[in-house]
Amino acid sequence: MNEQWALRFPRRAIALPGVERELATLPLLAPLLPLPIPAPVFLGRPADGYPWPFFGSALLPGRETCDTALTDDARAEVAMQLGSFLRRLHAPELVHLVPRLPVDANRRGDMAERVPRTRAQLADLESLGIWRSPGSVRGLLDLAERLPPSEPVAVVHGDLHFRHILVDDRARVTGVIDWGDVCRADPAIDLQLVWSFLPPARRAAFLDAYGPVSDEQLLRARVVALSVNAALARYGQEEGMDAVAREALAGLERATVD
């Protein structure tokens, strides 16, 4: 709107709980985080034939990371910024500042649910001739399925992938968007970027910026990386969004490399 404001209109009833969480949560989080996020300024209410609440926030500049030609060095720079951002978002004290969040809203940290779903997503890609996972992924998923339930110890974005990170031409993060899945969960849900976004040689630098992560969390994050990017690869193919499909497939490849 006038290249100054962005309006968030839910298009389906299923999105309403997410919009309501954004309205309740983003004003509390925005002043506490080191990168810009949408902070509701205007609240719209149902009227004139539109049935749901909506909000307006300052327009965040930048482009989705898949729409930029990021080099490995640029990816590392973006990831370092995200590491510091996620360290703050996942800080224990934020859980008490943001009340009434659902626990793991999409069950991404629940390997008993996420592993079978990921197997099905990967099988679907293979049946469509989009991507075939290497044999090592089977053992990885078998191992993850035996993990104990994760602990919902942090506020998480809940759907943090390459389309929800905005960057400028100098690899500076200008915004982290689309918080409809914000919830309380294992930080591993957001750490899928370690596997899918970063070249393997740059993962250690990200983890240095972020802080300690357990082997169990890294394994959960890896499964989420496979699941999320499988979904995005199919979506990109179906919708003719070549940049989305290309980045998702590259993310799948990266996630299979130790």
How far from each other are the two terminal CA atoms of the chain, in whole angstroms?
44
Q: How far is CA 118 from its chain centroid?
A: 16
Q: Please, what is the Cα angle at 37 between 35 and 41, to 5 degrees?
A: 135
- The Cα 18–Cα 7 span in angstroms is 15
- The Cα 63–Cα 43 span in angstroms is 25
Q: 226 Cβ partners below 8 Å, 6+ apart?
A: 118, 121, 122, 133, 137, 141, 252, 255, 256
What's the confidence (pLDDT) of residue 45? 76
Which has the closest alpha carbon to 214: 193, 187, 254?
Answer: 187
What residue type is 63 in one-letter code? R
**Residues of the chain with confidence (pLDDT) below 50:** none
Provide the residue ranges of all domains of the chain, joining segments of one domain with +.
Answer: 61-255
Contact 160/221 with Cβ under 8 angstroms? no
pTM, to two decimals? 0.93
CATH 3.90.1200.10, domain 61-255, yes or no: yes
Summarised one tens digit per residue, pLDDT across range 197-255 is: 999 999 998 998 899 999 999 999 999 999 999 999 999 999 999 999 999 999 999 99
